[in-house]
Amino acid sequence: MLSDQFIEAGLEAEEAAALVDAIQHGEDPCRLWQNLCDVFLTPSQPFAVHELAHSAVFASWEEDLRGPAPMWFPSQTDIEESNLSELMSIGGYDELHRRSVTNPTWYWSIVFEKLGIVADKGPDAILDDSTGAEHAKWFPGLELNIALSCFAGRNPNSTAIISAGADGKLHRKSIGTLESECHQVAWALRNAGFKRGDAIAIDMPMTSESVVIYLGIVLAGCVVVSIADSFAPNEIATRLEIANARGIFTQDVILRGAKSIPLYERVVEAKAPKSIVLPAGKNLSVTLREGDLSWSDFLTGAEDGPFDVEISPAEGLTNILFSSGTTGTPKAIGWTHLTPIKAAADGWAHHDIQPGQVVAWPTNLGWMMGPWLIYASLLNGASIALFEGIPSGAAFCRFVQDAQVNMLGVVPSLVRSWRASDATQGLDWTAIRCFSSTGEASNSEEMHWLMSRAHYKPVVEYCGGTEIGGGYICGSRVQAQVAAAFSTPALGSDFILLDEEGRPTANGELALVPPMLGSSQSLLNKDHHEVYYKDMPKGPTGETLRRHGDQMEALEGGYFRALGRVDDTMNLGGIKVSSAELERVCTVEGLKECAAIAVTPPGGGPSQLVIYAVTEAGYNATEQKLAANMQTKIRAELNPLFKVHAVRCIDSLPRTASNKVMRRVLRSQFSHA
C-alpha cells in the first residue's frame, strides 16, 4: 500500500495517512502537487518522501503526450509580481517571446529603460540589420561606459555586496562605497601608467575586491582579461599573450580551508607582466618581483574623488574572455559595453531579479558567470552575495541562509556535493525565490532534491555561452518548470534544431537565429565567420543561422533537454574544454596516442571524462595507472578541476578515411560497466 511506502520512506503513520488521503482525493495532478508543496512537503522530511509523492501524484501522467511531469507552477501572484507582468499583458508569455524576436526594437527599448542604462549619447536606432543578420549593429551611435549604470539611480546607502569568509561573518559594502572604491582603482591605474584600451588581467578568486577591480578597470576605459584562478601557468601565459595584457591583478595565495594554494607563484611562472598582488590574509605572504606592486602600494596616492570616466562607442571592448574550440587554442571573445545588457536582461526577464534582492552564484571572473553575476545583480538593483571559501560544503549553505539569498545559482556538481553531505540540514532557505543551474547538464533527481530544500522554489535552467553574453534557452518564473529541463528560448533569442543534413528536427544540433543582442561579432584570434557561420545551412524560411555546437531534444509540452556537445568540445565541471587540449596534455609514458571523450552518466547529469588509449608495444601498466598519470599531468598543465573518470585501452582508434578520429564511435561504444 502507498501508506506503507511513505512510512518506509520516513513518515510517521499519521502523516502518511494524511498524505495518501490528499493524493487519493486529488483530481487534477498539477493542482494537487501545488497543494502538497504548500501544505505537506517540508525540507525536514526525507527526500524519499518527496520522490514518492511526486511519483504517486503523476502516476497516470502521459509524458509522451504532455511532456515530463512539472515540478513547479507559478501562482497568479508570482505572475502579477514578476518583471514580465506588464509585457505579458499583450497576450501571454508565448506572444511575448514571439514579439521579442520579431520586433526586437520594441523589446530591447523596454529592457534598456527597465535596466536604467545611462549614456552620454543616445542611440540612433535600436537595431540596424541593413547589412544582414551576421553583421547587424545594435544601438548604433550609442556612447556610454556600462560600469556607470551599475550605480546610477541607486541609493548610495543600499547594499551592493554581502560577503563572508569561512567564519561565516557577514560584511556589507554599500553602493556608495563600491562606487568610490571603483573610482579609486581607476585613478590608481592611471597613476600606474595604464591608459585607455590597455588589457589588464584578473587572476584571483571572486571576492569583494575582485568586483571593485573589475568595474574599476572598465571605468578607466581599459579591458579586463578574464583568467580562472584554477589555471596552470602555461594556460595563464597563453591567455595573457593572446590578449596582449599589460598588467594583471592576482593574490599571493588562495586559502581553501587549511590549504594555502600558490597563485602569485603561478603568475610569475607564466611570465606575466606588471602584477598587482593582493593578500589572501592580512599581509602578503610572498616576495614580489621587481616592478610588481602590493595592493596597498598600488592604491597609495590614488585620488579620492570621482574619476573622469572614459566613454566609448557601445561596441568598445570591456572584457576579453576565453572559450575552448576544437583546435586546442582558446577562442578570445570580446565583451562590449552592450554584452552586460544581455546578461542583465536575462536576470531581469528569466530569473526575475528585482531591486533590493540578493543574488548568489559561486563562480569566478575567469568564466562568463563572474561578469554575469556583477551585471545581472547591479543593473537590476540587487546585491551580490559572495562567499570567499569553498562553496561545496555546509558553510556556504549557511551563508545562503544568513545572507537571505533570493536567487541562488548553482553548477549541478555543487548540488551533488550538498546532497551527499546533507549540507542544508536544519537550514532555512525560505528567502530563496528561485534557483538557476548552468555550466553542465542537470540531473532531474538532483534538481528535485534542490527544490525540496527550499519549499519548492523553481530551478531556472540556463544555457548559453560566453560568445552570446548570456543564455539562448532558459526556464522562467512565469511558466511551469520541469526538473532539469528548459521551458523557453530566451527572450530576444531564437534557435532551430537541425539533423545531420541541416534539416529541422526535434533532436539535433542547435543553431541560433541572429541577430541576437550580446552575441559576438568578432574574435581576437580567429576568423569569426569561419567559426560561427561558414557552411551553415539556411533556416526553413531563409534565415541566417549561427553555429553553436550544443545538441538539444525538443520534448512534448514545450520543454527541451540538453544532450551535450555535438563537436569535439566537452563540458567538464562547467568548463568547456576541447578534446585536443586534453589529448595534448595526456602524453604520458607508454602512450602511443589517445582520444578524449565526454560521456553522460546513467540517469543523466554532468559529463564524465573518458580517455581511450593506445599504448606502445610491450607497455603493461593498468588502465588505473594510466588514469593516475594522466590526472597528474592534467592537474599540473591544464586544470585541476578536470577529473579522469576512466581510461580504456584499445588496439587502435577508429578513424575516417581522411584519418580523423571518430570520437562519436567511441562515445557510443563506452559502457559504464
pLDDT reported for residue 326: 44
Task: Tell me: pLDDT of 228 over 50.
Answer: yes
- pLDDT of 427-475, one tens digit each? 999 999 999 999 888 889 999 999 999 999 999 999 999 999 999 999 9
Q: Cα(254)–Cα(251) distance, rounded to whole angstroms?
A: 7
* Percent of all residues in the chain with a pLDDT value above 70, rounded to a whole number: 98
Task: Tell me: pLDDT of 487 over 90.
Answer: yes
pLDDT (average), residues 63-88? 96
Contact in structure between 619 and 590 (CB atoms under 8 Å): yes
**Pairing assessment for the beta strands 247-251 and 274-278 based on DSSP bridges:** parallel
- pLDDT of 107-132, one tens digit each? 999 999 999 999 999 999 999 999 99
pLDDT reported for residue 673: 54
pLDDT reported for residue 660: 64
Judge if the upstream peptide bond of residue 515 is cis by omega within 30 degrees of 0: yes
Ranking 28-32, 201-205, 442-446, 652-656 by mean pLDDT, the lowest is 652-656
pLDDT reported for residue 619: 85
Domains in the chain and their CATH numbers? 2-61 (no CATH), 569-669 (3.30.300.30)
Task: Tell me: pLDDT of 657 over 60.
Answer: no
pLDDT reported for residue 14: 93
> Which carries the bigger pLDDT value, residue 34 or residue 575?
34
| 361: number of Cβ within 10 Å | 25
Q: Which of 660, 669, 442 is nearest to 567 (CA)?
A: 660
Q: Directed axis angle between helix 208-219 and helix 175-191, to 10°?
A: 60
Task: Tell me: pLDDT of 273 over 90.
Answer: yes
How does the average pLDDT of the chain come out, rounded?
93
Nine cell digits for residue 25: 482525493
In angstroms, what CA-CA distances link 648 with 165, 525, 614?
A: 42, 35, 9
Please report where in the chains the cell 576512466 appears, as a residue: 646
Residue count (the chain): 673
Task: Tell me: pLDDT of 327 over 70.
Answer: no
Nine cell digits for residue 99: 514579439
pLDDT (average), residues 322-331? 71
The amino acid occupying position 277 is V
Confidence of residue 75 (pLDDT cuts 50, 70, 90): very high
Please report where in the chains the cell 531564437 appears, as a residue: 494
Contact in structure between 384 and 377 (CB atoms under 8 Å): yes
Q: Cα(392)–Cα(413) distance, rounded to whole angstroms?
A: 9
pLDDT reported for residue 172: 98
pLDDT (average), residues 36-48? 95
Q: Cα(537)–Cα(548) distance, rounded to whole angstroms?
A: 13
pLDDT reported for residue 167: 85
pLDDT reported for residue 250: 98
Task: Tell me: pLDDT of 144 over 70.
Answer: yes
Confidence of residue 672 (pLDDT cuts 50, 70, 90): low
Ranking 239-253, 489-503, 644-658 by mean pLDDT, the lowest is 644-658
DSSP 392-453: TSHHHHHHHHHTT-SEEEE-HHHHHHHHHHTTTTT---TT--EEEE-SS---HHHHHHHHHT
Task: Tell me: pLDDT of 573 over 80.
Answer: no
Task: Tell me: pLDDT of 373 over 60.
Answer: yes
- pLDDT of 618-656, one tens digit each? 888 888 999 999 999 898 888 888 899 999 999 888 876
Range 90-107 burial, b when 16+ CB lie within 10 A, else e: eeebeebbebbbeebeeb
